[in-house]
Amino acid sequence: MLIYWNHKFDYRVLLSLATLFLAAISAPVHGEDLNIHQVAENVWMVQGVPEELSEENRGDISNSSFIATGNGVVVIDTGATAAYGRRFREAISEYTDEPVRWVINTHHHPDHTFGNSAFSDVPIMALSETRNLLMKNGDFFLKTVHERVGISSEDTVVILPSVTVEGGVKSFSGYPLKLIRFSGHSGNDLVVYDPLTKILFAGDMLFWNRAPTTPHSPGIDIWLEEIDRLAELNPAVIIPGHGPLAHDSGPIEQTRAWLVWLDSLMREGVAAGRSANALIDSDIPELLSDIPMAKFELTRSISHFYRKYEDSWWENANR
């Protein structure tokens, strides 16, 4: 019998078998307590739990990724503690023989940068403003992480990014990555797009199945406009800053829906004279209410944004 040899099909089958195999053999080794997913032949993500920092989760709440470029590994975000950084680096060495040569911090938040000390021997790249914000807020963040995570964070220190970068296509020893500058989530967000695998490493510009955090956002309108620009990249895979990876636009749609709802809740609520507490008690729409941390983030967002919406309502009313 003649067997039609479909190269592409076989490659995919082999890749998925390899993934299963890797998942099976990765269990007993150092990465056992990390939730590692192979995203492409040379790309992996470590998925955090959709929770706030706590002793129970040891601070493992955000996503980190790594790319084996053929000439060294690029690490994207380093987790919330030194211990996580070490576990992450050990896990990387179980998946590839290539040395870690570069680290990128997508933004200054501690759950994405406090594992930096495990990578202090390699260049740690970030936007210059990200470095400045971490320098300014690092001690306060560190106190918070110690308080919430406890013993698992005990030797965590603030290690600032050592190399500042701008947006644009950057070659990592021949492997191109597009670095794109945004601001919607933290004021300074660096998104990484891999044109070879069409994977988008969105940092906290996108959340999926974990409610978005907004305390350092310069404005929901800005964030929403930037999400439209992210959508134009048309990625094959999205790795959000928190939550599972997606092979469709799920994180884009959900982050957008959450922010659109939050924005209209506050605009309409302020116009109707409703108090911040009344808005915090609002019903969350059905499609968004099941998202982990929804109530928590609604409360947090209203608490810090309400005054801003009130001010802009008064400004408009007095024109």
Residues that bind Zn ion (CB under 5 A): 109, 204
- Taking the complex as a whole, the smallest distance from the CB of residue 293 to Zn ion amounts, in Å, to 13
Q: Contacts for 53-57 with beta carbons within 8 Å, 24 or more apart?
A: 53/80, 53/111, 53/144, 53/145, 53/148, 53/149, 54/148, 54/149, 55/148, 55/149, 55/150, 55/151, 55/152
Q: How far is the CB of 65 from Zn ion (least distance, A)?
A: 15
Which of 69, 301 has the CB closer to Zn ion? 301
Least separation in angstroms between CB 25 and Zn ion = 33
Structure tokens at 227: 């999400």
Q: Provide the minimum distance between the beta carbon of 211 and Zn ion in the complex, in angstroms, as a whole number.
A: 12
Q: How far is the CB of 9 from Zn ion (least distance, A)?
A: 39
Closer by beta carbon to Zn ion, 204 or else 226: 204
Pairwise CA distance, residues 287 & 155, whole Å:
41
Is 204 or 263 the residue whose CB approaches Zn ion more closely? Answer: 204
Q: Which of 65, 69, 63, 14 is nearest to 38 (CA)?
A: 65
User: Of 109 and 210, which has the nearer Cβ to Zn ion?
Assistant: 109
Q: Which structure tokens are listed for 35?
A: 């939730």
Instruction: Report the alpha-carbon distance of residue 296 to residue 127 in Å, rounded.
Output: 29
With tokens 């928190």, the residue in question is: 242
Residue nearer to Zn ion on the CB measure, 38 or 47: 47
What SS3 state is found at 154? coil
For the chain, the first-to-last Cα distance in angstroms comes to 81
